[in-house]
Amino acid sequence: MRYGHGPEVLRDLSFDLPRGSFQFLTGPSGAGKTSLLRLIYLAAKPSSGRISYFGRDAAELTRKEMPLLRRRIGVVFQEFRLLNHLSVFDNVALPLRIAGRRRQDYAEDVAELLAWVGLGEKMDVVPATLSGGEQQRVAIARAVVGQPEILIADEPTGNVDPEMGMRLLRLFAELNKLGTTIIIATHDLSLVRMLDAPVMSLSNGHLHIRAPRSQRQAQANAAPEEAAAETAAMETPDE
């Protein structure tokens, strides 16, 4: 991916996101994390190469199919993108309204979700009256209320205290257990250490994928055993 005639921001990237997987995306500022996320949630097109979703090439989707696919992707934007003329409740419920659901069918679910993120008493206020951390929690609630198949979160804990950050991470983990594919872009390495998940790291436009801790530990434990077996085989005399 490149912007205009400038250098490639991302290059030679090739990876799969298995259904129901959970992964972190890290990298220094300017490494291309936001560009990669924009490609994943279809806000941008690659300069070359292809992106496939649910077995379909994104470039082959019609104008009618594109909105339907985007509804299967939840996004927590770093800048929130809340609608200030709507209440907190209506901001969170917006994806459900767009999908054609009736208020009486989702009102209880939205209220429970807002209570879970600590905003149960502020569902009737407008976003402008909230702090940055509270607005971020509204954005997260809006992204997950429709139980998307893929959830992309760009620095979702950047404006909340550590306790709320852990609570939100538990929410993402619970959604993952229900089958949602999760991608969390973050600079917070303490957040990455809390879950045993793969880490996709961007550096100079290239992507490196580190396996989960448990898998790396299992490989490390297996290595001495394999080496010992090879040594024993070499030392066994022929009959």
CATH number (domain holding residue 44): 3.40.50.300
Domain residue limits at 175: 22-231
pLDDT at 234: 47
- Does residue 100 belong to any structural domain of this protein? yes
Number of domains within the chain = 1
Round the CA-based radius of gyration of the chain to a whole number and report it: 21
Residue 15 belongs to a domain:
no
| Distant-in-sequence, close-in-space partners of 121: CB < 8 Å, separation ≥ 6 | none
User: If you ran DSSP here, which 8-state letter would residue 127 be given?
Assistant: G
Q: Around Cβ 45, how many Cβ atoms within 10 Å?
A: 14
Q: How far apart are CA 190 and CA 122, in angstroms?
A: 30
Which tokens in the block code for residue 217? 């530990």
Q: Are strands 181-185 and 73-76 parallel, antiparallel or unpaired?
A: unpaired
Q: Look at residues 206, 130, 142, 151 and name the one whose alpha carbon lies nearest to residue 40.
A: 151
Residue 107 resides in a domain: yes
Is residue 4 a part of any domain in this protein?
Answer: no
Which residues sit opposite 141 in a β-bridge?
none
pLDDT of residue 26: 94
Cβ atoms of 24 and 192 within 8 Å: the answer is yes
What is the largest distance, in Å, between two alpha-carbon atoms of the chain?
A: 86
pLDDT at residue 208, as a whole number: 93
Residue type for position 106: Y
Domain assignment present for 2: no
Q: What is the pLDDT of residue 73?
A: 92
CA distances from 13 to 32, 34, 79, 83, 122 (A): 12, 15, 26, 35, 43
The pLDDT assigned to 120 comes to 93
| Residue 67 resides in a domain | yes
Distance CA 227, CA 144 (A): 47
Regions in the chain scoring below 50 on pLDDT: 234, 236-239
What is the phi/psi pair of residue 191, to 5°?
-65, -40
Amino acid 227: pLDDT:
58
The residues near 92 (Cβ < 8 Å, ≥ 6 apart) are 110, 113, 114, 123, 138, 141, 142, 145
Which pLDDT value is given to residue 158?
79
In a domain, 46, yes or no: yes
186 in any annotated domain: yes
